[in-house]
Structure 1
């Protein structure tokens, strides 16, 4: 029996996937104290991108992400293009492993061997993949309320600590719209929002197909507002200095102090990071595995879990030497402009136009 995802599970998975590792790194820090404006612009554009993805689902009913391209472009052209997505998400699984490696080794357990950190994370990811989308969906519905509760608790404790200074958010746009727009495009709308096209692999498994668009847009709205809220809190505490921190959320939690009793709740940041990073890595790896399965007509993807996890682990250990190379060189200079923009924006837009034209011709 094929497991069917409920609307709440889809909401939870989409929300947590879009948070991913974004909340721990600081989404719009390049814009300084105007980061929250860049976040909101990214959210607006991200909703448009998600609208494109859900429109593709509507025009290609019952098909997954990797089946859209052969259906519209033909087997000889569409299949090679479709194969790019499983490969991309296998690589992105490796990037999350590298994120975990850098976070744990620099901020939490500096003396722990890197191979131990990455191997444990990769093992948990592989174990969850054996449970398939059923286990993943149930993980999402479990993690979702915990993340919301931690966010509310953190916000209240920051207010109670007296470390929030409203004047830090002024003046707004003192450097103009340039830095804000650089936050929003291309990184802002591709990271999290653009990556969410991975969930199109599982949309045919949703119980109520009529709710997919509304639930996905709602989850996107919630995730975007939470990301903006985190940046606002960081700005109110640190002014534009927060842009200099590698892990602003982790640093932010260190300033909480209520009655000299509730202090240094950086473990909240650790829980945020691992909860969202784990679910995102599982979804990415499942997307890669099920995408390859459908394109190669394999009976099951489970035989590929161990080899794929080993590839992701090797990538996570070798793709970068340090956090600076990992984020500022590979991510901003290479990955976003040359891979994410074409695969998350240009190709889906072209496919949407072709799907719409074909549907009009078939209707006539």
Structure 2
């Protein structure tokens, strides 16, 4: 671990931007149709429960990173193996996020630019930030949080003023019953974006006076923002167009026209997307760098950051053949083969073993006294 400390407010802004970073771009929970907002709410509740598991693990080992306390709990060899798998998991997610934003920028801003150039420029900024340490990343999140909310509030006001919202598109509520939004939440929304807060087990040891209220507040605000975003998308575009759109919020923003002169506000969307993507990739990449350094007992350095950054960059180019395949894998494959094991099963296993280990330690201490 580096010798650094961040505040609770910095953790809050970092978590909030991390979770919101990619989720607001995509048609989250649209399989629940006009009840997508309800599915997100169920996912948020599941996210609360998962974070409580992560926080309890942190409470047992407040001075250790995820890749360190897995070895403490499961033993050296099994623990190191699980730690390596977590680093690979974070690398996979980082590469997918970079590819998400690379494809988005190519589609709507730089159609003639090679994907490698766009991804490399974004990765270079991430490498530079992460090499400066977690304190710089946390301070950046505070500034970008304010900027992002200014864009979000401005966009919301303009959408309302343009008269695009049609609440009839949100009816009927629970057309297919409560099961459909619950099913979508259990298979998708819990894991993306809420369950991905497992990566913050690599950051919590740096927080001064960390409390579970900070994490729960960040998850709650993210959930509310995503519900509002999907309510706006569906009410403006309708269920069918929202489901077909690659980036429904961009389509909504492109529809804004106020007083016959205020239009084409894509820049609001693009800036917000770049801010969220930058924080999201940086958190994953920081976990990869500090986890690799801890696991292999080497000092974090700029050279290590560049080496791992190049690996992630190359992986992002090969992670999928096209954007449609990337999204399909993220919805149909990733939750079952990666998200559930790394966000639910392994943390619960670690917590169970840690509980009995700490219980036995307490008993031994009492018997000694």
What corresponds to 2:236 in structure 1?
Answer: 237
TM-score w.r.t. the length of structure 1 is 0.96
Q: Name the structure 1 match of 2:54.
A: 53
For residues 179 and 109 of structure 1, do their structure 2 counterparts lie closer, same or farther at Cα, with a shift above 3 Å needed?
farther
- CA shift, 1:3, in A, is 2.4
Q: Give 4+ residue runs of structure 1 displaced > 2 Å after superposition.
A: 175-179, 299-303
Q: Deviation of residue 248 (structure 1)?
A: 0.6
Number of the residue aligned with 1:248 = 248
CA contact (8 A) 1:34 1:172 kept: yes
Whether the 8 Å contact between 1:186 and 1:341 is mirrored in structure 2 is no
* TM-score, scaled relative to structure 2: 0.94
Q: Distance in 1 between matches of 2:274 and 2:31?
A: 24
Do the aligned partners of 2:131 and 2:302 also contact (CA within 8 Å) in 1? yes
- Rounded Cα–Cα distance in structure 2 between residues aligned with 1:312 and 1:5: 26
Residues 34-71 of structure 1: CA deviation (Å, up to 9, x unaligned): 11010101011111111111111112221111112111
Cα distance in structure 1, aligned partners of 2:145 and 2:51: 20
Does 1:282 pair with 2:273?
no
Provide the secondary structure at the position in 1 that maps to 2:238.
helix
Deviations 1:155-211 (A, max 9, x none): 1111111111122111012123343123212321111211111111111111223xx
> Which SS does the other structure have where 2:70 is aligned?
helix
Q: SS of the counterpart of 2:208?
A: coil
Q: Is the 8 A contact 2:17 2:280 kept in 1?
A: yes
**Contact map agreement 1:60 1:355 (CA 8 A) in 2:** no
Match of 2:139 in 1: 138
**Aligned residue pairs: how many?**
361
Match of 2:367 in 1: none
**Structure 2 residue 329 is matched with structure 1 residue 322:** no
1:301 shift after superposition:
4.2
C-alpha contact 2:131 2:301 (8 A) present in aligned 1:
no
Please give the alpha-carbon distance, in whole angstroms, between the structure 2 residues aligned to 1:116 and 1:296.
31
Residues 90 and 308 in structure 1, CA contact (< 8 A), matched pair in contact too: no
State the alpha-carbon separation in 1 of the partners of residues 186 and 252 from structure 2: 26
Tell me the CA shift for residue 306 of structure 1: 1.1
Equivalent runs, 1:1-364 vs 2, <5 Å: 2-209=3-210, 212-241=211-240, 242-328=242-328, 330-364=329-363
The answer as to whether partners of 2:28 and 2:230 remain within 8 angstroms in 1 is: yes
SS of 1:163's equivalent in the other structure is coil
Alpha-carbon distance in structure 2 between the residues aligned to 1:299 and 1:164 = 53
Paired residue secondary structure (2:308):
helix
Secondary structure in structure 1 of the residue aligned to 2:64: coil
**For the residues of structure 1 that align with 2:312 and 2:60, how far apart are their CA atoms?**
33
CA-based RMSD of the aligned residues comes to 1.4
Cα deviation per residue 1:264-283 (whole Å; 9 max; x = unaligned)? Answer: 21111111211011111111
- Equivalent residues of 1:16, 1:144 under 8 A apart: yes
Q: Is the Cα–Cα contact under 8 Å of residues 4 and 205 in structure 1 kept in the other structure?
A: yes
Deviations 1:12-44, CA, capped at 9 Å, x for gaps: 000001112111112112211111010101011
3-state SS, counterpart of residue 339 of structure 1: helix
For 1:335 and 1:98, the matched residues in 2 are separated by: 15
Structure 1 gap ranges (5+):
none
Q: Distance in 1 between matches of 2:217 and 2:42?
A: 16
Secondary structure of 1:326's match? helix
Q: Contact 1:93/1:284 (CA < 8 Å) preserved in 2?
A: yes
CA offsets per residue over residues 118-140 of structure 1, 9 Å max, x none? 11111111111211112111111
